[in-house]
Amino acid sequence: MSDIHSEKILILDFGSQYTQLIARRVREAHVYCELHPFDLGIDAIRAFAPKGIILSGGPKSVYEEGAPVIAEELFELGVPVLGICYGMQLMSRHFGGAVVPAGKREFGHAELLAQGQPGPLFDGFFMEGKSPVWMSHGDHVEAVPAGFEVVARTGNAPVCAIQNVALRLYGVQFHPEVNHTPHGQQLLDTFVRDICGCSGQWTPGHIIDDAIARIRRQVGSDRVILGLSGGVDSSVAAALIHRAIGEQLTCVFVDNGLLRLNEGDQVMATFARNMGVKVIRVDAEERFLSALAGVADPERKRKIIGGLFVDIFEEESNKLTDAKWLAQGTIYPDVIESAGAKTGKAHNIKSHHNVGGLPDTMKLQLLEPLRELFKDEVRAIGEELGLPHAMVWRHPFPGPGLGVRILGEVKKEYADVLRLADAIYIEELYRTGHYDKISQAFAVFLPVKSVGVMGDGRTYEYVVALRAVETKDFMTAGWYPLPYADMAHISNRIINEVKGINRVVYDISSKPPATIEWE
C-alpha cells in the first residue's frame, strides 16, 4: 500500500445529510479517509486499520426501533473515536450514559459555552469561553457516562461536547463539518492530525505520483481508451493517464450537439493540439437530435442521451481492437451514491449525470484513477497537471448537456438559441467578476412564447431563464444576488443578439425546495 493510504480515517455513516462533508473536511486536512455504512462489520473495520474513526450524525433516535447501531467491539480497538450528533449519542449510550428527547429541539445556529477545562480536541476552539456552532438534533445527552466529562453546553442542551481523554473518545452534539460552524475545520484538523497522529500525506502532488504509479502497474504496456466529454472529471482523468502512459491512451470525444458554444473545438485544442493526446472526434449531432425527436420527459431524455453515447462509444471502441482498458472519470461521490442506491440507503432524485451502464459485450477492464477523489480534489490535481484554470474551475455541466436545459422536446433550433444565450451570460459573468463567486450558472430554454415589441413590430418569441447559485456542497444552494444593473445588461444583450428570444427571467429559487438544474 502506498504511503498516502497508510494513514486512514474511517467514517461510519448513520444517514446524516452532512456525512460527505465530514469526509471532505478530513481530506482538506490532507488525510485520506473513506466513508462506509454504519453496519460495517468489525472484521472489515480491523482490516481497514484506521488511525481514527468518526461516527456521523443521523435522523433517528438511538431508542427508536430499527435505529442504526455499531459493532460493540469498535470501542475496544484502541483508536481515537469522534462521535458527531447521533454518533455522540450512540457513544454515550454504549458507555452507560442517558440520552433523552430534548425539551426544545435545536436546528440552526447556537452558541456553545465552554464548561470546565477543554481537552486537546478543543484547544483554541473557544474564544472567551464561547464558540458559534450549527445544531441539528431532537435528542440530547442528559447524563454522561462514567469516565467522561462535559466540555461544553448550550442554553438548551446541558451536554454538547464530551471527552474521555484517557481513552481518546470524544463527542460533539453540533456539526463541525458544516461551514456554519466557523471553527469546525480546526476541530477536525486537531482530531485527525494531533489526536489520531496523521502526518498529512494526502496532497495533490502525492496523489498524482501515487495515481501514476498505480496506472502504470495496472496497465503495463496495454492500450487504454477514454470517453472524453470536456467536463472536469474526464479531462483530468485524460491528463493524468496521459502523464502516466503517453501514447498508449486514445480518447474518444463524442460531440452530441448539446455542448456549450465552441466547446468541441476547445476540447480538441486543449488535448489534441496543446497536450499531444490522441483524440478521435465523432460528430454525432444528427443521431442525438433524431433520437430525441418528440421526447419531452426528462428521465427519458437522460436515458436516450446516455444510451446513445454508449452505443457510439462502443462503435468507436470496436475499431480499436488492441485496447484492453476502458478509462472513466468516476469520482468518489459517484461511488458513494451508487453504493447508497444499491443498499437502499439513498433516495433517487434523478438519474446520475455521469453514471451509465456499459454493455456486457464491451470486454474491457475498467480504469478509474479518480474514484477516490472529491470534485475539489480533482480540480486541484487538474491544475497541478497543467490544465487551463478556466477548464478546471468551469462550473458543473450535466452529462446530458443542453438536453436537460431545454425544457421539453429538444430541437436543433432550441439548442442553437440556448448556446448563444448561455455564452453571452457566462461572458458577462466573467467580465463583471461574478463568475468565480458563483458555484454554478447557466441559461435554460423555455419552450413557451411571449409577446414582445421590437422596433415598430410585435414579436412572439421564446423565453430564457438565467440561473446562478451559491453553494459549498451542492446539497443545499441559495440563489446568487446578481446586481440589477448587471441583470439588465445581460438581458439586453441576449434579447438584442439572439434571434428568437424576446424575454429573459432570473431564477430566485433556492435548493431546497427547487433543484439547481431545472430538469
C-alpha cell read off for 414? 432550441
C-alpha cell read off for 492? 439586453
pLDDT digits (tens, 9 = 90+) for 229-238: 888 999 999 9
Q: Which residue carries 423565453 as its cell?
A: 463
Catalytic site includes residue 198: no
Q: Around 278, how many Cα atoms within 13 Å sit in the side-chain half-sphere?
A: 11
Residue 273: what pLDDT? 80
Does the pLDDT value for residue 361 go beyond 80? no
CA-wise closest residue to 446 among 505, 396, 496: 505
pLDDT digits (tens, 9 = 90+) for 93-117: 999 888 877 655 556 788 889 987 7
Average pLDDT on 115-133 reads 86
Catalytic site includes residue 85: yes
Name residue 22's amino acid: I
Residue 406: what pLDDT? 98
Residue 343: what pLDDT? 41
Q: Please report which confidence band the pLDDT of residue 280 belongs to, taking 50, 70 and 90 as the band edges.
A: very high
d(CA 133, CA 177): 10
Find the catalytic residue in 177, 263, 372, 377: 177
Beginning with the edge strand found earlier in the chain, give each strand of the sheet holding 365-367 in spatial order: 278-283, 249-255, 223-227, 323-327, 365-367
Find the catalytic residue in 33, 34, 85, 196: 85
Helix (H) / strand (E) element for 337: namely helix 332-343
Residue 391: what pLDDT? 87
d(CA 318, CA 250): 13
Q: Please report which confidence band the pLDDT of residue 48 belongs to, taking 50, 70 and 90 as the band edges.
A: very high
Find the catalytic residue in 175, 183, 242, 353: 175
Cβ neighbourhood burial of 2 (10 Å; 0-12, 13-18, 19+): middle
d(CA 371, CA 116): 44
List strand residue ranges (DSSP E) for 340-439, in order: 365-367
Judge whether 19 and 7 are in contact, CB under 8 Å: no
Helix (H) / strand (E) element for 341: namely helix 332-343
Residue 352: what pLDDT? 39
Q: How far is CA 278 from CA 9, 167, 271, 312, 319, in A?
A: 39, 56, 8, 18, 15
pLDDT digits (tens, 9 = 90+) for 377-431: 999 999 999 998 888 999 989 989 999 999 999 999 999 999 999 999 999 999 9
Residue 187 backbone phi and psi in degrees, to 5:
-65, -45
Ordered structural domains, the chain, with CATH: 3-195 (3.40.50.880), 204-392 (3.40.50.620), 411-506 (3.30.300.10)
The answer for residues whose C-beta is within 8 angstroms of residue 372's C-beta and 6 or more apart is 32, 332
DSSP symbol at 275: S
The answer for residues whose C-beta is within 8 angstroms of residue 315's C-beta and 6 or more apart is none
Judge whether 419 and 402 are in contact, CB under 8 Å: yes
d(CA 434, CA 421): 17
Segment of 143-157, 466-480, 492-506 carrying the highest mean pLDDT: 492-506
Give the mean pLDDT of the chain: 89
CA-wise closest residue to 162 among 101, 224, 129, 115: 115
Q: How far is CA 434 from CA 27, 395, 411, 431, 440, in A?
A: 28, 12, 31, 8, 11
Buried b (16+ CB within 10 A) or exposed e, 140-149: bbeebbeebe
Helix (H) / strand (E) element for 82: namely strand 81-84
Does the pLDDT value for residue 49 go beyond 90? yes
Of 12-21, 42-51, 454-463, the poorest mean pLDDT is in 454-463
What one-character-per-residue DSSP string does 293-334 give? TT---HHHHHHHHHHHHHHHHHHHHHH-TTEEEEE----HHH
Residue 349: what pLDDT? 33
Does the pLDDT value for residue 514 go beyond 80? yes
Catalytic site includes residue 251: no
Annotated binding site: 229-235
pLDDT digits (tens, 9 = 90+) for 195-245: 999 999 999 999 999 999 999 999 999 999 999 988 899 999 999 999 999
Helix (H) / strand (E) element for 467: namely strand 457-470
The answer for residues whose C-beta is within 8 angstroms of residue 486's C-beta and 6 or more apart is 428, 432, 434
Annotated binding site for ATP: 229-235
